[in-house]
Amino acid sequence: MDFNLTEDQVAFADAARAFSEQELAPAAGEWDLKQIFPKDVIKKAGELGFCGIYTPESAGGMGLSRLDAHVIFEQLAMGCTSTTAFITIHNMATWMIGEFGNSETIERWCPSLVMGEQLASYCLTEPNAGSDAASLKTSARRDGDHYILNGSKCFISGAGDTDVLVVMARTGAEGPKGISAFAVDATLEGISYGRKEDKMGWNSQPTRMITFDDVRVPVSARLGEEGDGFKIAMKGLDGGRINIATCSVGTAQQALDSATAYMQERKQFGKQLAQFQGLQFKLADMATELVAARQMIRLAAFKLDNNDPDKTTYCAMAKRFATDVGFQVCDAALQIYGGNGYIKEYPMERHVRDTRVHQILEGTNEIMRVIIARRLLSEGASSII
């Protein structure tokens, strides 16, 4: 096993780090405070290829691996967690269109999506279908050359400010096999958007409810065949879980770096904080757990890239572990800053707020445990090690 990054991956990391330091980090605090969605900066990310990282080359994307994407997203998250998290969601939705859309849909959307000129939202969650996504009620009824879309989606990142909505809707019977996926023009008649949610974190991206009222969606906008929607959604979420775990690790790495520097500058009782063994131990634990989380994500990405039979289990384990560790490391870094960590002059409180939601979205960490346990308890289950 070779744990070193390739030359290409090092180059990707360097480019992402430079963009993060120049374009994301300097403005992240203002975006959070004023709830600014930096679409112009996301477009700049698109110009570097960061909005279509693993979208197929045939659809205009870079066609990179999920491991490559992880390397890029970690560096971006060190600059702004919230904006990077939206970029990961945009990448997932763009990949779905590029991978499962027909030629007409790909030609309409992908050139502008991969460049960040237009943006995409992913619409799965509903008011009564969160963790139990297979029970969603939004319907798409076939009517000639169109589907009539009715229902609502909630907690949708970018809603009201994006151009295309990747929507999961029921075209058949109850359960996962009755769900289909669509690339829906966000400006179609009958689509309305709720108020922008006032959130604990992730303030540089808007979150709204979307309502569909007899929205006519062309049949050509369907992704895959009827009934493929839930399968497409779950494939997307395997990668999405790696992405959000990566955002946690990138943010936690930045928090650890800042806390390490702070300990060498701050003095109490006549000596540097770095000279107190108790804080040294805290720093050592933070670094150790962060490295473990990063390696677990990279293993899951490798499994996903190689279509391993247990890829979903590994992605669930990585998401559960890394998002928990990421939040804990950020919280520990805030503690090292003491009272300074709690005020907005320093970024620690923002790191804590932004990483907390990662334990909830892309499947709660409780659902991750369900996925892992079901695999272990399945009939005839073999070792996953």
Q: Which residues are catalytic?
A: 362
Q: What are phi and psi of 327, to 5 degrees?
A: -65, -45
- Of 325, 358, 346, the C-alpha closest to 253 is 325
Secondary structure of the chain: what % helix, strand, coil (to 5)?
55, 15, 30
Q: Residue 340: exposed, middle, or buried by beta-carbon count in 10 A (0-12, 13-18, 19+)? A: middle
Query: If you compute the radius of gyration of the chain from its CA atoms, what whole number of angstroms results?
Result: 21
Check: CB of residue 95 under 8 Å from CB of residue 88. no
- The two tokens of residue 315 are 């992605």
Angle at 349 between CA 345 and CA 353, to 5 degrees: 140
Check: CB of residue 78 under 8 Å from CB of residue 65. no
Check: CB of residue 36 under 8 Å from CB of residue 87. no
The CA distance from 152 to 167, in Å, is 10
- Per DSSP bridges, beta strands 271-272 and 267-268 are antiparallel
Check: CB of residue 234 under 8 Å from CB of residue 179. no
How far does CA 40 lie from the centroid of its chain?
Answer: 19
Sign of CA dihedral 137, 167, 180, 305: negative
DSSP 3-state of 122: strand
- The two tokens of residue 153 are 């989606």
- The two tokens of residue 161 are 């400010």
Q: Quick one: which H or E segment has residue 148?
A: strand 146-157
Helix-then-strand count for the chain, H and E: 11, 10
Q: What is the DSSP string of 272-304?
A: EGGG-HHHHHHHHHHHHHHHHHHHHHHHHHHHH
